[in-house]
Structure 1
Amino acid sequence: MRPFPQILTERQGQRPPEWLDAVRQNDLPGFHTLAAGIDRDRDAVVTDLILPWRSGVVEGHVNRIKMLKRQMFGRAGFDRLRKRVLLA
């Protein structure tokens, strides 16, 4: 099952279907679960491997804001939270 990391790092969007078929033929139950999860959302996985756009930066900002919101819960009002988000 070595080729899967290579598929991800080299962004080979055309290869997951053949990798999934190879997994189904092997006797490795852990990989069967992984393959089933990938197969359920195959279009999204292949699209992510093909397209150059990522939402990682946006997700990072969202996580940072959620963390600040949790830290400020019950301590101050919206104005203070807004100031902290803008300055952090």
Structure 2
Amino acid sequence: MWEEIVPLGYQGSYQRVRAYFREKRTSPNPITARPPSARVVDGWILRRPEILPEINHLRLKAVLVHCPELDALTTHVRSFAQMLTERQGERLPQWLDAVRRDDLPQPSHSRRGHRT
């Protein structure tokens, strides 16, 4: 594990990593990663896939596997962005039809900063 995390920027010692895993092996609590925040996932979805770092691409993929609605939304967001950047406005009616067919849940208006 230490050899894998050093290239990612970890500056701690091998012994520290070893001690951490030894403690977790004997702990009754399972090791679980904290899920990414909605803001972080939003950022992953809104970035162009080709500039998203591989680690974040994998993390997004892990999130999307567990949420088909978010996966569909990601597809729509990215196709809309492509339509805009390539100036293909004639595709808008088909894009709108595809969004309507997926019948995705409406966004929550409870997020901070939202005004109606």
TM above 0.5, yes or no, is no
> TM-score, normalising length from structure 1?
0.32
Structure with greater contact order relative to length (CA < 8 Å, sep ≥ 6): 1
Higher helix content, 1 or 2: 1
